[in-house]
Amino acid sequence: MKNIFTRRALLAAAALAAVLPAHAQEPAAAYPSHVVRIIVPNPAGGTSDVLARLLAKELGESFKQSFIVENKAGGNGHIGASFVAKSPPDGYNLLLLDMSNLTIGPAVMPALNYSPLKDLAPIAIPAFSPHLLVVRNDLPVKNIDELAAYAKKSGKPPSFGTPLASISQLAGILLAQDRGFEFNVIGYKGGAQALADLAGSQIDTAMASVVATNALVQGGKMRAIAVTSAKPFASVPGVPTVASQIPDFVTGSWQGLLAPAGTPPAVLDKLQAAVQRIVAKPEVAKRLAELGSEPSDMDRQQIAAWMQAETARWGKVVKDHNIKAE
């Protein structure tokens, strides 16, 4: 009788294995054995989309497997992020986005249906583009101290164009607070329109990534007075860092590649190593520089710790200033 039950158990186990999804059985060494999707939670044509398509091509060549980009826009990036967070943890649905959405999301959108810290596993940050603080050409300031002095002398806060409840708004608040003045925040649905209004001198200042602003600065549409990288940034030579006056003030667009939490560490390691090799290639490094960005050398454990610290940092700013998403 015992042998009958044993045989039945073995048969049942075999039947269950036959219907289990392939990702549950595939050894990490075989990854990837079929198409991998990189989900971009923004419309086509933006920074994340451009980077995802660059990586998809390079990863496909590296692994001899298809990597495709799929745009799932909406909800300030959280629709696509939630989709990946709830996907099977097998490495076949990846997420690429500006990670500031993840680090400020829990504070400005407390009803999120996933936890960026618990439900997503970081892999790499292939591109970082710091913020540029830019002003209209006829504003009589050339650095942040002169901007603070101007704000105090004029008796009215300089207007600051930004998408509301965004990393640029929070960064602007921190900077002004440290320098002892306030911005008159003008809310926009997107950063592009804020920059267009700044180029037309309809607002005084804005803060956006080098990727978004540098062509406008180079074209003489506005003036850059500070960059938020830890050290001088190659794409904007001669622009002083905020960190030189406000220690550790580093903000910007951190384009990160992530997978669902629970993805096998060996798969995450394979992807991390592949991305690091790709961004080190001279032609890729040149393309990233042309986009106004550079890769981060943080490994995935360091990125996880960074995410935790950034989530706490921005959560405090959101709470202290009662900032809410629209």
Tell me: do 226 and 272 sit in the same domain.
no
Inside any domain, residue 7: no
In this structure, the dihedral spanned by the alpha carbons of residues 254, 260, 261 and 263, taken in order and rounded to 10 degrees, is -110
Helices 210-218 and 191-199, packing angle to 10 deg: 20
How high is the pLDDT of residue 23? 44
Decide which of 326 and 233 is more confident: 233
> Of 244, 267, 290, which closes a domain?
244
Beta pairing partners, 209: 131
**3: pLDDT strictly greater than 60:** no
**5: pLDDT strictly greater than 80:** no
Here the tokens at position 131 are 């913020």
Question: Is 165:325 a contact under the CB 8 Å cutoff?
Answer: yes
Decide which of 46 and 315 is more confident: 315
Task: Tell me how many helices (H) and strands (E) the chain has.
Answer: 12, 9
Mean pLDDT value of segment 96-117: 94
Domain count within the chain: 2
How high is the pLDDT of residue 157? 94
Inside any domain, residue 306: yes
Per residue in 274-305, pLDDT tens? 999 999 999 999 999 988 999 999 999 999 99
Tell me: do 124 and 215 sit in the same domain.
no
Range of the domain at 111: 17-129+252-321
Pairing outcome for strands 120-135 and 184-188: unpaired
Here the tokens at position 162 are 């930004």
Helix (H) or strand (E) holding 289: helix 282-290
How high is the pLDDT of residue 139? 96
In this structure, the dihedral spanned by the alpha carbons of residues 203, 206, 208 and 210, taken in order and rounded to 10 degrees, is 90
Q: How confident is the model at residue 324 (pLDDT cuts 50, 70, 90)?
A: confident
Tell me: do 146 and 56 sit in the same domain.
no
Per residue in 201-231, pLDDT tens? 999 999 999 999 999 999 999 999 999 999 9
Mean pLDDT value of segment 68-91: 95
**How many percent of the chain have pLDDT more than 90?**
82
Tell me: do 314 and 226 sit in the same domain.
no
How high is the pLDDT of residue 167? 94
Closest to 27 in 3D by CA, of 198, 225, 264, 194: 264
Beta pairing partners, 254: 128
Tell me: do 121 and 168 sit in the same domain.
no
Question: Is 150:141 a contact under the CB 8 Å cutoff?
Answer: yes
Tell me: do 315 and 264 sit in the same domain.
yes
Decide which of 74 and 18 is more confident: 74
How high is the pLDDT of residue 115? 97
Q: How confident is the model at residue 326 (pLDDT cuts 50, 70, 90)?
A: low
Question: Is 133:249 a contact under the CB 8 Å cutoff?
Answer: no
Decide which of 255 and 5 is more confident: 255
Q: How confident is the model at residue 25 (pLDDT cuts 50, 70, 90)?
A: low
Tell me: do 122 and 28 sit in the same domain.
yes
